[in-house]
Amino acid sequence: MKKVFLMGLMAIFMIGAVKAQDTKQEEPTSGPKIEFTKKEHDYGKIQKGADGNCVFEFKNVGNEPLMLGAVKASCGCTTPTYTKEPIMPGQTGTINVRYNTNNIGGFNKTVTVPSNAVNEPRVVLRIKGTVLKPESTPTNN
């Protein structure tokens, strides 16, 4: 009798576990929603001292104002500036990222964008590339 009771109890827990896996989390239908045109920028191979600026554009595709939190870079060689005013539904904003191209070699950096978006409250943007060593010019002595 004890075994039958335990088997029945286990069956109930197993059915509950299967049902819990079947439920899908649906995306909220209201609130601010952020959508980026791109989340990665590849500088490719660039010269030392070259322009290290790039722009990430985003749009509020939700139905309430979108607010960005403090946008932070993964290191001091990358400086983000961003739209600080509320972005109304249907409007766009930008995050400008400047990489210090005086650092020779490959780089792969991130910029974290927190917001009140219901679809992606934390977005990670990526910049990458290689800063080439300047070619030495021969001296005529």
Q: pLDDT (tens digit, 9 = 90+) per residue, 76-93?
A: 999 999 999 999 999 999
- The per-residue b/e assignment along 56-87, b for 16 or more CB within 10 angstroms, e otherwise, is bebbbebebebbbeebebeeeebebebbeeeb
| Confidence bin at 17 (pLDDT 50/70/90) | low
**CA quadruple 8, 10, 13, 15: dihedral sign:** negative
What is the pTM (predicted TM-score) of this model?
0.77
Cα gap 112→102, rounded to integer Å: 23
When pLDDT is cut at 50, 70 and 90, the band that residue 109 belongs to is very high
pLDDT recorded at residue 135: 80
pLDDT at 124 over 80: yes
pLDDT, mean of residues 59-82: 97
Q: Order the strands of the 78-82 sheet from edge to edge.
A: 34-36, 53-60, 92-99, 78-82
Residue type, position 26, single letter: E
pLDDT given for residue 26 in this prediction: 63
pLDDT of residue 29: 81
Least confident of 14-18, 51-55, 66-70, 97-101: 14-18
